[in-house]
């Protein structure tokens, strides 16, 4: 769906710009130097990751991988929440499914179309896995899939997210470089660094603006990092 | 399309041109409003402190600023190529690209996209470019409701105002004013100044809208040419809602927002959020590269990007003014501006207030409407010092002042409305001034007369003496005093 006017606008804009940079030598651009952040060991990175997240009002719980179901059950009970939305056949779905029978566990196995009311009103909490994490800014990388759709981590008011400490990168630039993101970006990637918030009224911080009011991070640790 | 046709005839220029022309009256009005001044002072002090605490290491800040300046300059020198690459990459990903030279063209494209998809209910994430095009007004004429969903923008829309700050749109209102506004406009809400309660009220209203909306409109912080990715920076989650829930997502941005590589994004993002609000990173950083793909359960089925020029190519055509386009819209220049802090964001009359507004608005609205804006600066240099991409803002303001008083007949037309601020009398005075200063005899004679006739100096000198006393020349010139002094010294010897 294109508009004819858009095509002439395109030609005009590009012609104007090209006229100005005609003959520019791109080989002679000045060298760009990135700041050399001191390298941190794993423990420092993990500490920074947790500190940043907590400073941004997220709750971080360090657990062993086999404690996922127990922790979720306890955290849900603390909040008087009896149901949980999760992604079927996802990274941690087997562990999550241990909750079956204890709480009302619903897989996100429906299309959003026609089910919006249900998604917006029926699920007080959701749980997702994560792709990796960034220590410097306390960010969790969500890489939504068919099994864990984009709205799963966005619409329910409480978002539990499972993060594997083995997938921690020092900073965003390092992560993009190490994983060569430019070759594989999916429909959507989101960096999440806390619960939804706003300071739009008189610079007063308030949580739960439009996205989740609470972000609970289940941090999977090895024996020795616990 | 009847309304749209009428609108196009009526709106040959932005509604902001008129309010920018009224700059001096706006300033007088807002300086007189003590509540407004208190709101801005409080907000600016807060943001200045936040930024300061986000950059604890000077060395890192200097390095990042230099790096990001060079990134933006590289992307600008390659701009036409990157725009073509961006378009190709986006279309390969399934995102449709539209181009608009003027604000009306951009609005028309968006209105037609909505119409073709039978859009009824539109939600918008924060987008200053859509403010620039006055999109809400345009859609309203078509009978389409376009609801702002950023909390600040929502407040501003309810109050029938426009943003007074590019990052914190409702910064001019305090919580009592917001509470009053909500009580008057939201059914069942009783006046309450608790900020959490106010935000939860806004959340409730807007969640219902997100749930129903069939079109989502957003801005773009960075458009990555290499991957065809639209990046959005936000804290609230409304940006994610607008770009995920409705079936149709339309993004609008200025042509200068394109970056070459994905690897250009991390340093720019770091400087953007830290300069803007002092955050290491925003709560959400959203990267969109495709519409919903086969098998995916949610996400918009169509994604469109509207690329807007609206005067940017004019700034691009001049090496010095091109630096204006390096801007990443962090708002640090306005937070640190003594003029902005005092007169507030609405006095400028333009979409973009503060130093960045004074630099960019003349390209969008022409110098005829904006000739006063570049003069609203003490040239203290604070804006240039904090600018994350090192735009020499004071220098550019001086340049714009020159452009606005240049003789209209000068062959090279750098800017629309060039010479609009030129006054014949003022030009003659300066001509005489330069003449006198080039000729010593003439200079001394005129100075002699000026000092001897100082009693004739009028007491009233227009605007100058409204708040000051008129200056009075000294009884003798400096040259005379110096001569007298050296004679005295000689006599003593």
Residue A7 main-chain phi, psi, to 5 deg: -65, -40
Q: What is the pLDDT of residue B279?
A: 97
- The CA distance from A124 to the nearest CA of chain B, in Å, is 14
Residue B115 and residue B4: Cα distance in Å, rounded? 12
- The CA distance from A97 to the nearest CA of chain B, in Å, is 21
Tell which residue, B366, B375, B384, has the closest CA to residue B343.
B375
pLDDT tens for chain B, 493 residues: list them: 455 555 554 555 789 999 999 999 999 999 999 999 999 999 999 999 999 999 999 999 999 999 999 999 999 999 999 999 999 999 999 999 999 999 999 999 999 999 999 999 999 999 999 999 999 999 999 999 999 999 999 999 999 999 999 999 999 999 999 999 999 999 999 999 999 999 999 999 999 999 999 999 999 999 999 999 999 999 999 999 999 999 999 999 999 999 999 999 999 999 999 999 999 999 999 999 999 999 999 999 999 999 999 999 999 999 999 999 999 999 999 999 999 999 999 999 999 999 999 999 999 999 999 999 999 999 999 999 999 999 999 999 999 999 999 987 766 788 999 999 999 999 999 999 999 999 999 999 999 999 999 989 888 888 889 889 998 899 999 999 999 999 887 766 5
Q: What is the pLDDT of residue B1?
A: 44
Q: How many CB atoms lie within 10 A of CB B382?
A: 20
Q: Characterize the bridge pairing of strands A104-107 and A83-86.
A: parallel
Interface list for B 173-202 with A (CB within 8 A): 173-175, 178, 195-196, 198-200, 202
Contact indicator for B389, B328 with CB cutoff of 8 Å? yes
Torsion over CA of B163, B165, B169 and B171, rounded to 10 degrees? -120
Whether B416 is covered by a domain: the verdict is no
B247 contacts on A by Cβ (under 8 Å): 113
Give me the sign of the Cα torsion angle B381, B383, B386, B388: negative
- Distances in whole angstroms, Cα of residue B187 to Cα of each of B174, B191, B207: 21, 11, 16
B216 contacts on A by Cβ (under 8 Å): none
Q: What is the pLDDT of residue A201?
A: 95
Number of folded domains in chain B?
1
Q: At what angle do helices B2-10 and B103-116 cross, to 10 degrees?
A: 170
Residue of A nearest to B62 (CA): A35
- Tokens 């725009």 correspond to what residue? B83
Q: What is the pLDDT of residue A93?
A: 97
- The CA distance from B30 to the nearest CA of chain A, in Å, is 19
- Tokens 């509207």 correspond to what residue? B306
Tell me which residue range forms the domain holding B463. 424-492
Whether B471 is covered by a domain: the verdict is yes
A89 contacts on B by Cβ (under 8 Å): none
Candidates A112, A177, A210: best to mutate against B (most CBs of B within 10 A) is A210
Whether A115 is covered by a domain: the verdict is yes
Q: Do A201 and B307 touch (CB under 8 A)?
A: no
Tell me which residue range forms the domain holding A162. 40-198+207-225
- The CA distance from A127 to the nearest CA of chain B, in Å, is 17
Q: Do B42 and A154 touch (CB under 8 A)?
A: no
A57 contacts on B by Cβ (under 8 Å): none
Whether A16 is covered by a domain: the verdict is no
Whether B466 is covered by a domain: the verdict is yes
By the 10 Å C-beta count (0-12 exposed, 13-18 middle, 19+ buried), B392 is classed as: middle
Whether B393 is covered by a domain: the verdict is no
Q: Do B175 and A201 touch (CB under 8 A)?
A: yes
Interface list for B 220-239 with A (CB within 8 A): 226-227, 229, 235-238
**pLDDT, block means (10 residues), chain A with 226 residues:** 84 97 92 96 97 98 97 98 96 96 96 97 98 98 98 98 98 98 98 97 96 98 85
Token duo for residue B400: 């714009």
Say which CATH number the domain at A166 has: 3.40.50.10420
* DSSP codes of every residue in A85-117: EE-TTSTTHHHHHTTBTTBEEEE--S-STT-HH
Residue B333 and residue B356: Cα distance in Å, rounded? 7
Whether A12 is covered by a domain: the verdict is no
Q: Do A139 and B281 touch (CB under 8 A)?
A: yes
Q: Do B74 and A6 touch (CB under 8 A)?
A: no
Number of folded domains in chain A?
1
Strand partners, A220: A63, A164
Provide the b/e sequence for B299-328 (b: ≥16 CB within 10 Å).
bbebbbbbbbbbbbbbbbbbeebbbbbbbb
Contact indicator for A13, B309 with CB cutoff of 8 Å? yes
Q: Which of B67, B227, B236 sits opposite A32 (nearest CB)?
A: B67
What DSSP state is assigned to residue B429? H
Q: Which of A35, A139, A210 sits opposite B236 (nearest CB)?
A: A210
Whether A124 is covered by a domain: the verdict is yes
Q: What is the pLDDT of residue B407?
A: 86
- The CA distance from A223 to the nearest CA of chain B, in Å, is 30
Q: How many CB atoms lie within 10 A of CB B180?
A: 14
- The CA distance from A158 to the nearest CA of chain B, in Å, is 13
Whether A73 is covered by a domain: the verdict is yes
* DSSP codes of every residue in A13-64: HHHHHHHHHTT--GGGPPPP----PPP--HHHHHHHHHHHHHHTT-EEEEE-
* DSSP codes of every residue in B299-313: S-SEEEEEEE-TTHH
Residue A16 and residue A70: Cα distance in Å, rounded? 63
Whether A87 is covered by a domain: the verdict is yes
Q: Do A187 and B296 touch (CB under 8 A)?
A: yes
Q: Do A9 and B105 touch (CB under 8 A)?
A: yes
Rg for chain A, CA atoms, rounded: 22
* DSSP codes of every residue in B34-59: HHHHHHHHHHHHHHHHHHHHH---HH
Average pLDDT, chain A: 96
Q: What is the pLDDT of residue A225?
A: 80
Tell which residue, A220, A191, A202, A201, has the closest CA to residue A56.
A191
- The CA distance from B318 to the nearest CA of chain A, in Å, is 8
* DSSP codes of every residue in A126-191: EEE--SEEETTTTEEEE---SSS-GGGGTSSSEEEEEEEGGGEES-HHHHHHHHTGGGT--SEEEE
Residue of A nearest to B163 (CA): A200
Strands laid side by side in the A158-164 sheet: A59-63, A214-220, A158-164, A125-128, A83-86, A104-107
Q: Do B174 and A211 touch (CB under 8 A)?
A: no
A198 contacts on B by Cβ (under 8 Å): 151-152, 199, 235-236
A155 contacts on B by Cβ (under 8 Å): 245
> How many contacts, defined by CB atoms under 8 Å, are there between A and B?
269
Token duo for residue B97: 């690209």
- Is some CB atom of chain A closer than 8 A to the CB atom of B132? no
Contact indicator for A9, B104 with CB cutoff of 8 Å? no
Contact indicator for A72, A127 with CB cutoff of 8 Å? yes
Q: What is the pLDDT of residue B9?
A: 46
Q: What is the pLDDT of residue B46?
A: 96
Q: Do A32 and B74 touch (CB under 8 A)?
A: yes
Strand partners, A63: A220
Residue A61 main-chain phi, psi, to 5 deg: -125, 120
B79 contacts on A by Cβ (under 8 Å): 17, 21
Q: Do A211 and B284 touch (CB under 8 A)?
A: yes
- The CA distance from B24 to the nearest CA of chain A, in Å, is 27
Token duo for residue B19: 């309010």
Q: Which of A6, A20, A137 sits opposite B99 (nearest CB)?
A: A6
Q: How many CB atoms lie within 10 A of CB A219?
A: 21
Q: What is the pLDDT of residue B492?
A: 64
């Amino acid at each position: 769906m294109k508009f004819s006017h858009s095509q002439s606008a395109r030609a005009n804009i590009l012609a104007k710009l090209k006229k100005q940079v005609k003959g520019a030598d791109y080989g002679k651009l000045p060298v760009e130097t990135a700041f050399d952040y001191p390298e941190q060991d794993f423990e420092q990175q993990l500490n920074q990751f947790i500190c940043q997240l907590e400073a941004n009002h997220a709750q971080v719980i360090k657990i062993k991988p086999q404690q996922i179901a127990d922790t979720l059950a306890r955290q849900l009970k603390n909040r008087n929440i009896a149901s949980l939305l999760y992604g079927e056949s996802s990274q941690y779905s087997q562990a999550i499914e241990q909750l079956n029978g204890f709480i009302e566990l619903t897989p996100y196995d429906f299309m959003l179309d026609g089910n919006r009311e249900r998604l917006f009103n029926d699920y007080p909490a959701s749980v997702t896995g994560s792709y990796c994490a960034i220590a410097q800014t306390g960010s969790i990388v969500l890489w939504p899939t068919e099994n864990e759709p984009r709205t799963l981590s966005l619409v329910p008011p409480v978002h539990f997210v499972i993060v594997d400490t083995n997938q921690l990168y020092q900073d965003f630039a390092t992560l993009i470089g190490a994983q060569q993101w430019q070759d594989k970006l999916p429909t959507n990637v989101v960096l999440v660094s806390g619960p939804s918030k706003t300071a739009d009224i008189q610079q007063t911080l308030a949580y739960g603006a439009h996205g989740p009011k609470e972000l609970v991070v289940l941090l999977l640790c090895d024996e020795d990092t616990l | 399309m009847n309304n749209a046709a009428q609108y196009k005839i009526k709106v040959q220029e932005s509604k902001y041109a008129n309010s920018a022309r009224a700059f001096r009256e706006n300033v007088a009005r807002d300086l007189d409003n003590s509540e407004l001044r208190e709101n801005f002072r409080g907000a600016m002090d807060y943001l200045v402190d936040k930024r300061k605490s986000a950059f604890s290491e000077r060395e890192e800040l200097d390095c990042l600023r230099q790096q990001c300046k060079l990134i933006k300059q590289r992307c600008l020198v390659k701009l036409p190529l990157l725009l073509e690459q961006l378009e190709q990459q986006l279309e390969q990903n399934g995102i449709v690209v539209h181009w608009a030279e003027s604000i009306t063209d951009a609005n028309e494209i968006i209105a037609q996209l909505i119409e073709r998809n039978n859009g009824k209910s539109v939600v918008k994430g924060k987008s200053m470019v859509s403010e620039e095009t006055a999109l809400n007004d345009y859609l309203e004429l078509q009978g389409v409701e376009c609801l702002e969903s950023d909390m600040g923008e929502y407040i501003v829309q309810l109050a029938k105002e426009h943003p007074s700050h590019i990052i914190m749109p409702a910064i001019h209102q305090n919580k009592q004013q917001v509470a009053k506004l909500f009580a008057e406009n939201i059914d069942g809400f009783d006046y309450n100044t608790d900020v959490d309660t106010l935000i939860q009220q806004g959340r409730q209203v807007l969640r219902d809208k997100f749930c129903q909306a069939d079109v989502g409109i957003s801005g773009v912080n960075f458009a990555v040419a290499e991957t065809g990715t639209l990046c959005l920076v936000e804290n609230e989650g409304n940006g994610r809602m607008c770009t995920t829930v409705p079936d149709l997502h339309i993004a609008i941005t200025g042509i200068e927002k394109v970056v070459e590589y994905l690897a250009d994004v991390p340093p720019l993002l770091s400087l953007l959020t830290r300069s803007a609000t002092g955050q290491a990173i925003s709560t959400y950083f959203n990267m969109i590269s495709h519409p919903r793909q086969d098998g995916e359960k949610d996400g918009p089925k169509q994604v469109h990007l509207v690329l807007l020029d609206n005067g940017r190519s004019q700034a691009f055509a001049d090496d010095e003014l091109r630096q204006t386009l390096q801007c990443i819209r962090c708002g640090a220049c306005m937070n640190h501006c003594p003029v902005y802090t005092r007169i507030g964001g609405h006095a400028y009359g333009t979409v973009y207030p503060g130093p960045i507004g004074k630099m960019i608005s003349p390209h969008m609205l022409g110098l005829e409407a904006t000739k006063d804006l570049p003069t609203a600066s003490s040239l203290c240099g604070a804006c240039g010092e904090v600018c994350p991409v090192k735009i020499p803002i004071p220098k550019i303001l001086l340049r714009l002042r020159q452009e606005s008083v240049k003789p209209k007949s000068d062959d090279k037309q750098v800017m629309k409305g060039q010479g609009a601020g030129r006054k014949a009398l003022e030009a003659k005075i300066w001509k005489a001034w330069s003449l006198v200063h080039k000729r010593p005899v003439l200079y001394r004679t005129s100075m002699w007369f000026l000092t001897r006739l100082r009693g004739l100096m009028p007491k009233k000198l227009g605007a100058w003496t409204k708040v000051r006393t008129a200056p009075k020349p000294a009884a003798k010139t400096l040259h005379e005093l110096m001569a007298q002094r050296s004679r005295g010294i000689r006599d003593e010897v």
